[in-house]
Amino acid sequence: MNELLVESEVGSRIFTLRGKEVMIDKDLAELYKVETKVLNQAVKRNIKRFPDDFMFRLTKSEKQELVTNCDRFEKLKHASVNPYAFTERGVYMLATVLKSDVAIDVNIAIMRTFSKLREFSKHYNALAKKMMELEYKNDKQFKEVFKRLDNLVSDTQETDEKIMGFIKPKR
Q: Domain segments of the chain: what residues?
A: 3-120
Confidence at 1, pLDDT banded by 50, 70, 90 = very low
* Confidence at residue 4, expressed as pLDDT on a 0 to 100 scale: 47
* CA separation, residue 32 to residues 28, 68, 110, 138 (Å): 6, 25, 11, 51
Q: 86 - beta bridge partners?
A: 23, 55
- Percent of residues, the chain, with pLDDT higher than 90: 20
Region of 57 (left: φ > 0; alpha: ψ -120 to 50; beta: rest) is beta
> How high does pLDDT run on average in the chain?
78
115-130 pLDDT per residue, tens: 777 777 666 667 777 7
pLDDT at 88 over 80: yes
* Lowest-pLDDT range of 2-6, 44-48, 56-60, 138-142: 2-6
Q: What is the pTM of this model?
A: 0.59
pLDDT at 11 over 50: yes
pLDDT at 51 over 90: yes
Helix (H, G, I), strand (E, B) or coil at 35: coil
* Confidence at residue 5, expressed as pLDDT on a 0 to 100 scale: 47
Long-range contact set of residues 134-140: C-beta below 8 Å, sequence gap at least 24: none
* Confidence at residue 50, expressed as pLDDT on a 0 to 100 scale: 94
Rounded distance between C-alpha atoms, residue 82 and residue 58, angstroms: 6
Confidence at 13, pLDDT banded by 50, 70, 90 = confident
* Confidence at residue 74, expressed as pLDDT on a 0 to 100 scale: 83
